[in-house]
């Protein structure tokens, strides 16, 4: 994997489908809850979905063209609220606009119980070859506690269908999302759930620590002291158990929260951590095709105006190749250190225009700031790269990044490494 | 500029407690005499520094000259000399009082007389000033002018039958005040033929003209062509300009006895033209200076260290500059193994210390670590030597010292009698010796204690305020040194001695303070990647210990395309917090931790 080439055009696209049955208690994404009875092309909310998709197609139409895509990720929200025809239309639109490379990875996020065997086949017929299943938990108690609609029964069915499809080689991979350290979680209940996840034979698992985001149901419950979150020692035990159990089961940890059998890492997500660019489409979606991130408006009306504005005036400047910029060095480290490979400081500095003398002058202070982590085995220097050790280093990623930001803040204002603007701490 | 005979000059000041409306009243006087037009009026005109306006208190005094046509149809010149209202600056108050013949005693008509007011009124009476009682904020619903008048008579012994009721806010009573200044305050004494003597009552540093000196001409004449001699600093200067404050500086050629004015003479630092010094003429000097000059002596000391060692030269430069305008500020280099290079600084009091710290951070953009304040201890050594120690960390070992003496103050606390119990409790906790309790009115009382200054410069003031809902006020002055059984309490962070946290305490309190200190530090120091032992010790004996467990997990679960901006902000916030900390060995210690000793629940 190359560490990032600032001027190579994006080969990935993210499509945001903001509809959900309900808003889960931990979720702070841009979503539009439609109610539990929402259902594809006919149920409540179907008109809203149709209107939204029209806008989404319009946004793709006004985008600059680019080379064929290597990965597409349709996320949300709950994209499986869309009919296969609607998914197909989106994919075909991307194919006409950009085209697809051979062997491209097309991922669809799906909710457990939101598809049957026939539905799954229709999605596959659209060209989807990877599914990400929002399992979150295998335990009905916790599913209830976190506000999910689905139950274990639905999850088991969906896993069975995906496993079948994978074994028949109808899809190239599939993944499960789980949340660990939920309120009230015990070590044994977590061990059991993780075993169940492993038993599904999913070749890819994303295991997230619960994080309490502002504005969510959990945030105000925590404020009122109602959340019985696992204490630090238990939380550590749970996280460590995850790492060792998955390792034993043959998974590799290729990012802080992502585990995969060899060859099953999500190519799309690795784009984010590599510092390469991506297209983004849809309400609330973020894009960064040419080194500048752009978050789209989070409400439908503003998003519509934004699309209409571009139809008249052309794409937003950040979406035009002629405005390509380098992604700031500090951000490349923030994302890069999350991955198993870590970062090659020298190569990154070189790509940011530093000659060898400048590389020494700028990078040496960072290396000395990081020295304590290296000595404690939290940060590993192998060859030209720095990477966090697993699990100890990954567990304190922020501490390493905070030192990096302090270094960044201390660089002289005329340092070649700096982007045009740097926000002082 | 009106030139008036001495008989139509009036020099006066305003004595008031903080919040009793002195600055508002001064503003109103300037406005009603047309000295400052309503358009140019900024609230609290005399308080020049931003800090003063924000805190609503006067730190540096100022003066203003007003022209007023009195009821006799004559034009009078009224010089208002502003005084600071805080105990830290009582010496400056005494100098400004000497420059006046009268004072307006401003008392909040609902709050009554406070300790600081009382202290200043007594100073004014000692200086033979004519005092005009003024009841301010008469427009407020809680105003009780009759009761407060009675209080003024009872407490101060002033005839308050002619007290003026006013509201500086609405303008009520302002004319009466101006007329009373003319009628009741005597003009300065004329002194034809006497040698020139002028009292410096304030000075400040101007980066273009050098020190600007404010003075009151007691006798003789000063002409802009004169050469002047400052009698205490023994330095002589050619004058660049002299003038009056109208309130903007307005040049004149000559000033006469009784007048208040300013001079600029390319004086490099305020230390060369100190408040209280006497100005005379170089060619025909006065024989004796005016009485009462003394150098303001710092009473409170602390260490100032830059968070970032690279800022040390900047800190030195900033202190050099501040000292140009603040003669009371003292500093010398201090090196601590734990903190690196910094300065030991001396201040008049806690407020002065806070002001300097804030000015350094605000005006010079420095990130500072300030250590807990200390007083000067007198250490009698076995070999007969006497050491004055302003830094607890350098207190010699017990084997080498015979005894330690600490400074004591006589403190008067003034409060409604409901709070007697709680205030006496506070004073007792702080090792105060009770002297007297006086009922001033039926429901207000003065408590008099002798108490170690070291106990006062901690959180005494805050405690007093919070335990009395803000009703109590206090005043103190140094009375001398007394021996006590004092010990040096050291703190070890991660097994390394943390000099800046060393404190000197009474042996009986050492255990409690030590325990409180390590507990507080445990709260204040953030967790790091390793376990941090915290210990308090007397000599080699550990008297309290705690530990901060290792930070085990500090990681963001998710970071995909849409998360990066927000996650970066979180990390930046964390980095910003860390930047404000001081690395002591391997441990990052935040500023608040250095003040932990002030925050113990005693």
pLDDT per residue as tens digits for the range A26-73: 999 888 888 888 765 567 788 999 999 999 999 999 999 999 999 999
Looking at residue B201, what is its pLDDT? 86
Residue of B nearest to A76 (CA): B562
Looking at residue B58, what is its pLDDT? 45
Q: How far are the Cα atoms of A178, A200, B135, B422, B435 from residue B443, in angstroms, in the given order?
A: 69, 81, 20, 16, 20
A377-388 pLDDT, tens digit each:
999 998 889 999
What is this model's ipTM? Answer: 0.94
Q: Which residues of chain B have pLDDT under 50?
A: 53, 56-61
Is the model's pLDDT at A4 over the cut of 50? no
Q: Which residues of A touch B567 (CB under 8 A)?
A: 334
Residue of B nearest to A425 (CA): B576
What is the 8-class DSSP label of residue B443?
S
Span A327-336, average pLDDT: 92
DSSP for B239-276, please give it.
-SEEEEESSSEEEESEEETT-EEEEE-----GGGS-TT
> By the CB < 8 Å criterion, does B250 face chain A?
no
DSSP for A259-297, please give it.
EE-TT-S-HHHHHHHHT--BEEESTT-EEBTTS--EEPP
Q: Which residues of B touch A14 (CB under 8 A)?
A: 561
Looking at residue B43, what is its pLDDT? 57
Token pair listed for A137:
């938990």
Q: How far are the Cα atoms of A48, A148, A214 from residue A21, in angstroms, in the given order?
A: 13, 9, 21
Q: Which residues of A touch B (CB under 8 A)?
A: 14, 208-211, 232, 235-236, 239, 256-257, 269, 272-273, 278, 280, 284-288, 293, 295, 330-331, 334-335, 338, 372-373, 376, 378, 394-399, 401-402, 405-406, 409, 423, 425
Higher pLDDT, A202 or B350: A202
Looking at residue B168, what is its pLDDT? 87
Instruction: Annotate B304-315 with three-state secondary structure.
Output: EEECCHHHHHHH
Q: Which residues of B touch A405 (CB under 8 A)?
A: 571-572, 575
Looking at residue B59, what is its pLDDT? 42
- Burial of residue A343 (CB within 10 Å: 0-12, 13-18, 19+) is buried
Is the model's pLDDT at A324 over the cut of 90? no
The alpha carbon dihedral of B15, B17, B23, B24 has a sign of: negative
The alpha carbon dihedral of A368, A370, A372, A375 has a sign of: negative
User: Which of B556, B564, B565 shows the shortest C-beta gap to A398?
Assistant: B556
Cross-chain Cβ contact A14/B561 below 8 Å: yes
**Is the Cβ–Cβ distance between B23 and B46 less than 8 Å?**
yes
Tell how strand B130-136 and strand B164-165 pair up. parallel
Residue of A nearest to B559 (CA): A335
Helices and strands in chain A: count of H runs, count of E runs:
15, 16
Looking at residue B365, what is its pLDDT? 87
Token pair listed for B210:
């050098």
> By the CB < 8 Å criterion, does B578 face chain A?
yes
A250-275 pLDDT, tens digit each:
999 999 999 999 999 999 999 999 98
Residue B39, Cβ neighbours under 10 Å: how many? 5
> By the CB < 8 Å criterion, does B362 face chain A?
no
- Burial of residue B281 (CB within 10 Å: 0-12, 13-18, 19+) is buried
How big is the CA angle at B556 (ends B577 and A9), to the nearest 5 degrees?
105
**Is the Cβ–Cβ distance between B529 and A388 less than 8 Å?**
no
**Which phi and psi (to 5°) does residue B386 adopt?**
-115, 125
Contacts of residue B457, Cβ cutoff 8 Å, sequence gap at least 6: B299, B300, B349, B350, B373, B374, B375
Q: Which residue has the tokens 């193994």?
A: B337
Is the model's pLDDT at A368 over the cut of 90? yes
> By the CB < 8 Å criterion, does B557 face chain A?
yes
- Burial of residue B601 (CB within 10 Å: 0-12, 13-18, 19+) is exposed
Work out the mean pLDDT of chain A and round it to a whole number: 93
Is the model's pLDDT at A222 over the cut of 90? yes
**Alpha helices for B105-232 (secondary structure H):** 115-126, 145-156, 174-184
A97-153 pLDDT, tens digit each:
999 999 999 999 999 999 999 999 999 999 999 999 999 999 999 999 999 999 999
Looking at residue A123, what is its pLDDT? 96
Token pair listed for A5:
């080439």
């Amino acid at each position: 994997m190359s560490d990032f080439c600032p001027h190579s055009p994006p080969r990935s696209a993210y499509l945001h489908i903001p509809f959900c049955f309900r808003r889960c208690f931990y979720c702070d994404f841009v979503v539009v809850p439609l109610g539990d009875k929402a259902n594809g092309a006919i149920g409540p909310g179907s008109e809203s979905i149709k209107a939204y998709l029209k806008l989404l197609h319009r946004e793709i139409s006004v985008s600059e063209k680019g080379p064929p895509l290597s990965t597409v990720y349709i996320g949300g929200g709950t994209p499986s609220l869309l009919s296969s025809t609607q998914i197909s239309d989106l994919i075909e639109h991307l194919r006409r606009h950009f085209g697809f490379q051979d062997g491209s990875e097309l991922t669809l996020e799906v909710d457990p119980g939101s598809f049957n065997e026939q539905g799954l086949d229709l999605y596959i017929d659209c060209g989807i070859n990877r599914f990400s299943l929002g399992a979150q938990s295998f335990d009905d108690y916790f599913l209830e506690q976190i506000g999910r609609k689905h139950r274990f029964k639905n999850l088991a069915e969906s896993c069975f269908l995906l496993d079948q499809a994978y074994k028949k080689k109808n899809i190239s991979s599939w993944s499960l999302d789980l949340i660990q350290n939920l309120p009230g979680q015990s070590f044994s209940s977590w061990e059991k759930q993780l075993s169940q996840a492993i038993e599904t034979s999913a070749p890819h698992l994303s295991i997230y620590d619960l994080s309490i985001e502002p504005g969510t149901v959990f945030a105000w419950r925590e404020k009122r002291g109602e959340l019985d979150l696992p204490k630090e020692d238990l939380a550590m035990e749970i996280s460590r158990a995850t790492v060792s159990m998955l390792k034993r089961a043959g998974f590799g940890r290729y990012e802080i929260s992502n585990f995969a059998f060899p060859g099953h890492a999500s190519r799309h997500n690795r784009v984010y951590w590599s510092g390469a660019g991506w297209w983004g489409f849809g309400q609330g979606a973020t894009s960064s095709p040419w080194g500048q991130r752009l978050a789209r408006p989070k409400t439908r009306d503003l998003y519509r105006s934004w699309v209409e504005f571009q139809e008249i005036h052309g794409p937003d400047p950040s979406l035009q190749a002629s405005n390509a910029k380098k992604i700031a060095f500090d951000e490349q480290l923030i994302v890069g250190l999350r991955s198993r490979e870590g970062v090659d400081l020298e190569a990154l500095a070189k790509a940011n225009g530093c000659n060898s003398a400048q590389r020494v002058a700028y990078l040496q202070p960072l290396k000395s700031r990081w020295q304590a982590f290296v000595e404690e085995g939290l940060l590993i220097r192998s060859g030209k790269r720095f990477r966090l050790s697993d699990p100890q280093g990954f567990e304190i990623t922020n501490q390493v990044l905070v030192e990096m930001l302090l270094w960044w803040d201390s660089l002289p204002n005329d340092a070649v490494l700096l982007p045009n603007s740097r926000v002082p701490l | 500029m009106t030139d008036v005979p001495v008989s139509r000059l009036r020099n006066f000041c305003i004595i008031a407690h903080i919040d009793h409306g002195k600055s508002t009243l001064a503003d109103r006087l300037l406005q009603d005499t047309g000295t400052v037009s309503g358009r140019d009026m900024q609230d609290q005109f005399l308080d020049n520094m931003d800090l003063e306006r924000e805190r609503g208190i006067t730190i540096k005094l100022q003066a203003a000259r007003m022209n007023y046509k009195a009821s006799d149809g004559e034009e009078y010149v009224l010089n208002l000399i502003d005084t600071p209202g805080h105990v830290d600056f009582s010496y400056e108050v005494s100098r400004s009082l000497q420059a006046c013949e009268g004072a307006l005693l401003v008392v909040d008509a609902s709050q009554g007389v406070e300790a600081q007011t009382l202290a200043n009124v007594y100073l004014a009476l000692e200086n033979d000033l004519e005092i005009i009682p003024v009841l301010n904020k008469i427009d407020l619903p809680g105003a009780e002018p009759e009761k407060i008048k009675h209080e003024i008579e009872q407490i101060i012994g002033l005839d308050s039958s002619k007290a003026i009721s006013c509201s500086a806010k609405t303008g009520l009573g302002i004319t009466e005040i101006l007329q009373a200044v003319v009628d009741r305050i005597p003009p300065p004494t004329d002194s034809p033929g006497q040698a020139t003597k002028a009292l410096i009552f304030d000075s400040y540093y101007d980066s273009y003209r050098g020190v600007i000196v404010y003075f009151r001409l007691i006798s003789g004449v000063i002409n802009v062509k004169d050469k002047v001699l400052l009698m205490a600093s023994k330095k002589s200067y050619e004058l660049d300009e002299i003038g009056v404050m109208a309130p903007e500086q307005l040049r004149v050629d000559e000033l006469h006895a009784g007048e208040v004015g300013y001079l600029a003479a390319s004086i490099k630092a305020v230390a060369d033209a100190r408040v209280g010094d006497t100005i005379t003429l170089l060619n025909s000097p006065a024989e004796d200076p005016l009485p009462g000059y003394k150098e303001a002596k710092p009473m409170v000391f602390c260490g100032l260290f830059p968070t970032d060692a690279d800022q040390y030269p900047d800190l030195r430069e900033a202190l050099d500059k501040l000292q140009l305008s603040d003669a009371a500020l003292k500093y010398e280099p201090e090196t601590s193994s734990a903190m690196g290079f910094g300065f030991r600084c001396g201040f008049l009091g806690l407020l002065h210390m806070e002001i300097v710290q804030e000015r350094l951070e605000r005006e010079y953009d420095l990130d500072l670590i300030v250590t807990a304040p200390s007083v000067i201890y007198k250490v009698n050594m076995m070999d007969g030597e006497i050491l004055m120690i302003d830094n607890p960390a350098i207190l010699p070992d017990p084997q080498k010292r015979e005894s330690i003496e600490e400074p004591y103050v006589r403190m008067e606390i003034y409060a409604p009698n409901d709070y007697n119990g709680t205030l006496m409790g506070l004073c007792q906790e702080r090792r105060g010796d009770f002297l007297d309790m006086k009922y001033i009115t039926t429901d207000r009382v003065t408590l008099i204690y002798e108490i170690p200054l070291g106990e006062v410069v901690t959180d005494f003031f805050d405690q007093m305020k919070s335990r009395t809902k803000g009703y109590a006020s206090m005043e103190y002055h140094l009375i001398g040194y007394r021996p006590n059984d004092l010990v040096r309490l050291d703190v070890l962070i991660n097994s390394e001695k943390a000099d800046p946290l060393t404190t000197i305490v009474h042996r009986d309190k050492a255990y409690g303070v030590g325990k409180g200190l390590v507990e507080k530090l445990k709260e204040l120091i953030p967790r790091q990647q390793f376990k941090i032992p915290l210990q308090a010790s007397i000599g080699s004996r550990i008297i309290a210990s705690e530990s901060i467990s290792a930070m085990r997990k500090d990681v963001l679960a998710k970071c995909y395309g849409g998360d990066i901006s927000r996650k970066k902000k979180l990390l930046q916030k964390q980095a910003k917090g860390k930047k404000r900390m001081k690395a002591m060995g391997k441990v990052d210690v935040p500023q608040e931790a250095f003040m932990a000793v002030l925050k113990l629940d005693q």
